[in-house]
Structure 1
Amino acid sequence: MTRKERLRRILAGVFCFSLVFTIAFTWGYVKLAVPDRLNLVVSEEEIFHFTLPPGVTLESDSEEVVLGNASNIPAGKVRIQTTEPVSMYGASEGSYHLGMKLFGLIRMKDIQVDVVDGMYAAPCGVPVGIYLKSRGVMVVGTGEIVNDAGNVVEPAFGVLKSGDYIETVNGREMEDKDDLIQAVSASSGSPVSLEVRRDGELLKVELEPVLAEDGTYKLGAWVRDDTQGIGTVTYVDMNGSFGALGHGISDSDTGKLVDIREGGLYDTQIMGIEKGTSGKPGVMSGVIYYGKGTKLGEVTANTEEGIFGTVNRRFLERFQSEAIPVGFRQDVHKGQAFIRSDVSGEVRDYEIEIQKVDHASLQKNKGMVIRVVDEELLKLTGGIVQGMSGSPIIQDGKLIGAVTHVFIQDSTKGYGIFIENMLEH
């Protein structure tokens, strides 16, 4: 092989490597930086703050979604390649698609575009008591038992896992811990057949209860059938549907999202606030009232984006006259905004600063970084405390999101979720 041929091969190899690297990098950028779903208000041109890397074009699959300047570009005829923010116009309501292509040939991503009429919701900012009942009996973990002979055994180890849900025992449905205790006791030590839900799949396992030294039969599993706490309602729409928290409720021991059967919202009274400090988030403490007439609504879903359900008339009538426009992610920008909260005993708006906006965040409840600048709120809470999750974020007169997490090392700062991610539920 001549020196010239060797150089030609080296250059060809470098070119191929560069091409593969460019395609892989571009593919990864598009996947991470561009949302899978966008919302447009019908008949309004809106700006989306993501840029297209070199060689990538954005094309509309429908004449109803127009890219670029709506006044002079024919619908459905435009192909956009730009390093600037992208403008879009929705001509009529419906669900459409955009395609992203590399070099105009390779389809890299499909984007769903929902063109909707202007949406309204009432920002709430009020704390409520939350009670959730799990769907099945949740296994927190396994444990040792001292049996009637004085030996230490652990019958459930390796059979049940943290985060499992026991749905049935010998065919009988388990609604709570009492049902499980009774079913195990009724076995008198005979093997029992359990139907267990693990990561969404149903499994059948068999366990032999152990007669413990206290004279009762046990499986050697720590279980839980409910959870409760205090959080903030973000919004309620005119149909009585609500969203709260901006993040899901996870089990305190397993860290896994609680799979719920049902739940409720209840009146609560905040008794005190422990300020947040560096390395230790603050917390609101209070009392949840479960008495007659204290229920505010039903919880039907516990998701990564919050808890959702419907409120009763008493709650709805309090807020239905306070509805404001909903702002989508393209409306959110750095700068002044407000959070609405009842931490002082009355619902008030407190000034914050939006410091970062991640329009394509992979973590749906961490789309923006906020910082509390309101002196009164800082004096009262030190910033963001546990229990404030769900406090609505308002900017330019629109409901744009909710507070979700506090920075452990700086209680004045935290994350927020885009309201459109909550409204998808």
Structure 2
Amino acid sequence: MPPQPRILQKVLLLIIIFSTSFTTAFYSYFLLPSEQKLSVGDALNLPQLLTPGIDHHLSVYVESNKNNVLKINGYPVTQKIYKYNGEQAVVTEPGQLNLSLKLFGVIPIKNMMVDVLPEIEVIPGGHSVGVMLQTEGIMAVGHAPVYRNDGTYAYPAKEAGIELGDNILAINDSKIKNEKNAAELIHQFGAKGTLKLLVRRDGKEKIISVEPEFCQDTKTYRIGLYIRDNAAGVGTITFYEPKGKKYGALGHMIADLDTVDQAEKGRIVKADIQGIKPGKKGDPGEKIGLFDGKELEGNIEINSNFGIFGKLEEPLVNPFFKNGISIALSNQISEGPAEIITVIAGDKLEKFDIEIERVLPQHQPTGKGLIIQITDPKLLKATGGIIQGMSGSPIIQGGKLVGAVTHVFVNDPTKGYGCLAEWMILEAGIVHKEAASFPEIMTKSPVFMFNL
């Protein structure tokens, strides 16, 4: 082969090798999450460039809201330029970092915000609790048609001005005890004419007159309301933070609490599990609990997509983790074996094996961060999988709290979703939501830079 083609081949080969390495390195940067959370002491891992000679073309600019958030080889990053060759970069204090990767110091390649959280230790839960709404009487949670004899229908309560979230305290001066009692009073007084309902709305009470209708289907007088008394069901505590006496539970919202316009939306009390209705395909099971206001009691201050949160009156004790465990962030969770803690009889906490099948990308806060499957033979035999009342059961992996059981797959009760623990502790206020104000803080922060 003539010399010239050989030289061209070598040049072409070098270009291919250079381009492949260059592209691979940059592709790895594009795959980095735009936002992530790290705990104090975690390494800040950045991909290594594969081709020697191009590292001086890349710079990483680091903005921080304070000094000492990041250290390289044990030295705090200060206002200097670093030539970074794979040294150990560790986050060492709570705060925020904003990383900006630039080519030739000008062309932006990747921006990444890192929220550094303090190490948090909590007591895992698993305890069954009854959720009590902070209401008197009954709560209006929906409107329903009342069908007349002639086939037409009406909405008496809605037409009279009853709104969702109203607390109905009494009917014709008779106090309402529960749902059943309310239905009895409506039928009893409805047969005689107009009903006078004592209603509390936005902290104020007033009388609303309602004309009841005789329902063809039930053969009773009705006013066309879906109602709930103050018992919202059984759930499970996920964690307890001893310093602030704060707890998190359920891992999902309680819809009825959305209509309660009070600082304290309700209470949780201890629940003893008296029975189990196993779940099966298309028919989710449930825990049957007896509420007990002793030993475990707390308020409900927050109701969100990540669960309910408040304070316990007495410390929570877990026989498996007496001294507490750390919270695992999403980047510390892996697919594979894990376990949950829950109650299936009485008040006995038990551990059961599960499998974390997927860790879902968390580009923004969401109550569904994990896909899990129950694998423990004992739990499968007792419950068929995930059932109502199990929501909030803590998920433990590698000795850390990674999340809480939330929703079941209706077509496969052995599988379901989990809510990440990191979102729950932020929602509980255990760690300040610093990321929300991060861009504003950055405008006045020192700017650091090191070269890649």
3-state SS, counterpart of residue 255 of structure 2: coil
Q: Structure 2 length as normaliser, TM-score?
A: 0.62
Question: Structure 1 residues 219, 381: CA separation in 2 closer, same or farther (over 3 Å shift)?
Answer: closer
Match of 1:42 among 35, 40, 64: 40
| 2-structure distance, mates of 1:134, 1:76 | 57
Are the counterparts in 2 of residues 155 and 208 from structure 1 also a CA contact under 8 Å?
no
Match of 2:168 among 157, 167, 177: 177
| 2-structure distance, mates of 1:220, 1:232 | 33
1:330 aligns with 331
Cα offset, 1:337, TM superposition: 0.8
1:8 aligns with none
Name the larger-Rg structure: 2
1:189-215: CA deviations, max 9, x gaps? 9xx9x9978xxxxxxxx998455579x
Question: Structure 1 residues 226, 344: CA separation in 2 closer, same or farther (over 3 Å shift)?
Answer: closer
Cα offset, 1:135, TM superposition: 11
| 1-structure distance, mates of 2:301, 2:241 | 16
| 1-structure distance, mates of 2:108, 2:156 | 55
Cα offset, 1:92, TM superposition: 2.1
| 1-structure distance, mates of 2:321, 2:377 | 30
Structure 1 alignment gaps of length 5 or more: 1-25, 50-55, 80-86, 167-175, 183-188, 198-205
1:91 matches 2:82: no
1:376 aligns with 378
Cα offset, 1:165, TM superposition: 3.7
| 1-structure distance, mates of 2:311, 2:333 | 27
Are the counterparts in 1 of residues 126 and 341 from structure 2 also a CA contact under 8 Å?
yes
1:272 aligns with 275
Are the counterparts in 2 of residues 135 and 165 from structure 1 also a CA contact under 8 Å?
no
Aligned residues: 350
| 1-structure distance, mates of 2:424, 2:413 | 24
Cα offset, 1:222, TM superposition: 5.2
| 2-structure distance, mates of 1:88, 1:159 | 66
Question: Structure 1 residues 34, 266: CA separation in 2 closer, same or farther (over 3 Å shift)?
Answer: same
1:329-375: CA deviations, max 9, x gaps? 11101111111112245222211111101141546221011111111
1:8-407 equivalent positions in 2, closer than 5 A: 34-35=34-35, 38-45=36-43, 59-62=61-64, 64-66=68-70, 89-93=90-94, 95-98=95-98, 111=113, 113-116=115-118, 118-133=119-134, 139-142=140-143, 154=155, 157=158, 164-166=164-166, 176-178=167-169, 209-212=209-212, 224=228, 226-239=230-243, 240-251=245-256, 257-259=258-260, 261-290=264-293, 293=294, 296-313=297-314, 315=316, 321-345=322-346, 346-360=348-362, 362=364, 364-407=366-409
1:12 aligns with none
Question: Structure 1 residues 359, 65: CA separation in 2 closer, same or farther (over 3 Å shift)?
Answer: farther
Are the counterparts in 2 of residues 340 and 392 from structure 1 also a CA contact under 8 Å?
yes
| 1-structure distance, mates of 2:136, 2:110 | 39
Are the counterparts in 2 of residues 60 and 66 from structure 1 also a CA contact under 8 Å?
no
3-state SS, counterpart of residue 178 of structure 1: strand
3-state SS, counterpart of residue 344 of structure 2: coil
3-state SS, counterpart of residue 387 of structure 1: coil
Question: Structure 1 residues 58, 268: CA separation in 2 closer, same or farther (over 3 Å shift)?
Answer: farther
1:19-72: CA deviations, max 9, x gaps? xxxxxxx9xx99x9644xx432223315599xxxxxx997531265559x7679
| 1-structure distance, mates of 2:108, 2:200 | 47
Question: Structure 1 residues 196, 61: CA separation in 2 closer, same or farther (over 3 Å shift)?
Answer: farther
3-state SS, counterpart of residue 424 of structure 2: helix
Structure 2 alignment gaps of length 5 or more: 1-26, 48-57, 83-87, 174-193, 215-221, 429-452
Are the counterparts in 2 of residues 340 and 349 from structure 1 also a CA contact under 8 Å?
yes
3-state SS, counterpart of residue 406 of structure 1: strand
2:422 aligns with 420
| 1-structure distance, mates of 2:130, 2:165 | 24
1:264-295: CA deviations, max 9, x gaps? 121211111122111111211121134xx465
Are the counterparts in 1 of residues 40 and 116 from structure 2 also a CA contact under 8 Å?
no
| 1-structure distance, mates of 2:291, 2:43 | 46
Are the counterparts in 1 of residues 96 and 115 from structure 2 also a CA contact under 8 Å?
yes
| 2-structure distance, mates of 1:196, 1:105 | 58
Question: Structure 1 residues 301, 73: CA separation in 2 closer, same or farther (over 3 Å shift)?
Answer: closer
Are the counterparts in 2 of residues 242 and 310 from structure 1 also a CA contact under 8 Å?
yes
Cα offset, 1:416, TM superposition: 0.8
